[in-house]
């Protein structure tokens, strides 16, 4: 089965992101606004107990924290993605590093981890530039408490569902 690890921002942040995602993100209907902590990958039933135990340990050692989204940014030209960017990504980077250790260690990541909430993707370049030009001048000041980590599973219908949640308790 295909699994991923993510955190969900507050409903206020999700509502703001969804106001853009509904028109500009083809994944709008299959997963709520989130910040990926670890990319999706195939995991077997045999791997799940060790991964669950690892995520429980990470959550027990990680204190809940606050994040603030302060701007819209883009991954262009690497990919046609617009996203809400964090004022200080350090807490999310630390969480990512803790999760991506032990049984979830990634020996050679394909990219630098950039925590974000996607608000648009797979857009034609002209649409991406036009929307980015408008949004980067908008004031963004959204805060969110991060107090849970979620193991997500992709269902046969293509929807992502929370398989297990881990409360941050550090």
Q: Which of the residues are catalytic?
A: 34, 116
* Phi and psi at residue 104, to the nearest 5°: -110, 20
């Amino acid at each position: 089965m295909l699994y991923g690890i993510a955190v969900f921002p507050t409903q206020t942040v999700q509502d703001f992101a969804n106001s853009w995602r509904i028109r500009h993100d083809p994944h709008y209907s299959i997963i709520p606004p989130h910040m990926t902590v670890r990319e999706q990958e195939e995991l077997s039933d045999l791997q799940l107990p060790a991964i669950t135990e690892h995520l429980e340990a990470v959550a027990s050692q990680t204190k809940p924290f606050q994040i603030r989204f302060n701007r819209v940014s883009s991954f262009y030209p690497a990919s046609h993605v617009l996203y809400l960017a964090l004022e200080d990504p350090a807490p999310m980077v630390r969480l990512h590093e803790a999760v991506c250790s032990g049984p979830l260690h990634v020996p050679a990541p394909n990219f630098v981890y950039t925590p974000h909430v996607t608000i648009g993707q797979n857009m034609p370049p002209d649409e991406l530039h036009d929307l980015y030009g408008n949004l980067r001048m908008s004031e963004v000041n959204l805060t969110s408490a991060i107090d849970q980590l979620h193991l997500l599973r992709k269902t046969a219908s293509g929807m992502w569902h929370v398989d297990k949640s881990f409360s941050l308790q550090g």
